[in-house]
Amino acid sequence: MYISQVFKVEHDWWRYIIGVMGAIVGVGVFSMPHLIALMTKVFDGTADQSKFEDINYLMTLFEPNLNLMFLLLPFVGGLICLLLLVKFLHKQSFKMLTTSRKKIDWKRFWFAFLFWGIISSGLILVDYFMKPEGYELNFNLGKFIVLCIIAVILVPLQTSFEEYLFRGYLMQGIGVLVKNRWFPLLLTSTVFGLLHIANPEIEKLGYILLVYYIGTGLFLGIMTLMDEGLELALGFHAANNLFTALLVTADWTAFQTHSIFKDISDPTEAGFIDVFAPVFILFPILLFIFAKRYKWSNWKEKLFGAVVEPPKEDYKVLGEDI
């Protein structure tokens, strides 16, 4: 029902084109503070505009906390515009964009957030104790407190924008248009992964890292379709980015922060641990755990089945939730 419930609202194909374009406009508008700051540095001679294509160079122009805020603000703009368009262009409720349940299950969100937050933090700490020579202590209390404030407020908004756009808006919109589940799952996961191609990690580790990003998109998409809602994906994604931003940074990552640790190793290419282990070992284990906890069933139908418009008599029942 997570996809098929959208039959009850305005779901013409052209509305989704406008919706995506509107979200892009929101991203652009909220990118203006960063652009203005960059142009100011060009005019006062402290920045070389010819190097602006170098992401690593851009990262060095501002203090890390300010740079993180500039990096995250566009996602806030995209989220605001997307939610407004969903409400007024599609006449769709926030609840319907989030879940097929009668109300949003925030317990699911917090379970995924805490569960993955603990595991991901544990994995980072294990790696630190196993390879201490690859890290240095980066902790500065004052700067870390500021980082916490920025990250706790903006990182969940950044991850929520990505989830609501890909696993929510586009998954639902493409699903009702093509009337199946597998195509929007594969398409949104692929686009989600390819949009990370500009990340500095790709330059450092190679295009093989796209396997991880696309695999992560598939993992989050499968989670959404099997659970009939975004709550678990929202919690997982928020925890993944937030705990990483607070715990560890590196000179070659998108999030260069005043985190507790700094990775000073110099990987030349992504290996098994970086790419294939999460996608082909860890993510399937996590799906198994979530499936047991939330009693998922009928995998074939939920992942590959048709999206069927509900009978007319069901409209009134669904309409009460809109």
Average pLDDT of the residues of the chain: 92
Domain region containing 199: 4-319
**Cβ partners under 8 Å of residue 104, min gap 6:** 95, 98, 229, 231
Q: Does residue 8 surpass a pLDDT of 90?
A: yes
> Cα dihedral sign for 88, 94, 99, 103?
negative
In tens, the pLDDT along 229-251 reads: 999 999 999 999 999 999 999 88
Task: Name residue 180's beta-bridge partners.
Answer: 306
Contact at 8 Å (CB) between 99 and 228? yes
pLDDT of residue 57: 77
pLDDT of residue 104: 97
pLDDT of residue 292: 97
Averaged pLDDT, 72-101: 97
Most confident option among 90-94, 131-135, 206-210: 90-94
Residue 71 identity: L
Pick the closest to residue 289 from 55, 115, 149 (CA basis): 115
pLDDT of residue 58: 79
Contact at 8 Å (CB) between 307 and 4? yes
Contact at 8 Å (CB) between 259 and 147? yes
Give pTM, 2 decimals.
Answer: 0.93
**Cβ partners under 8 Å of residue 144, min gap 6:** 246, 258, 259, 260
* Torsion of Cα atoms, 139 then 145 then 146 then 150, to 10°: 110
pLDDT of residue 202: 84
Number of structural domains the chain divides into: 1
Backbone phi, psi, residue 47, to 5° = -140, 145
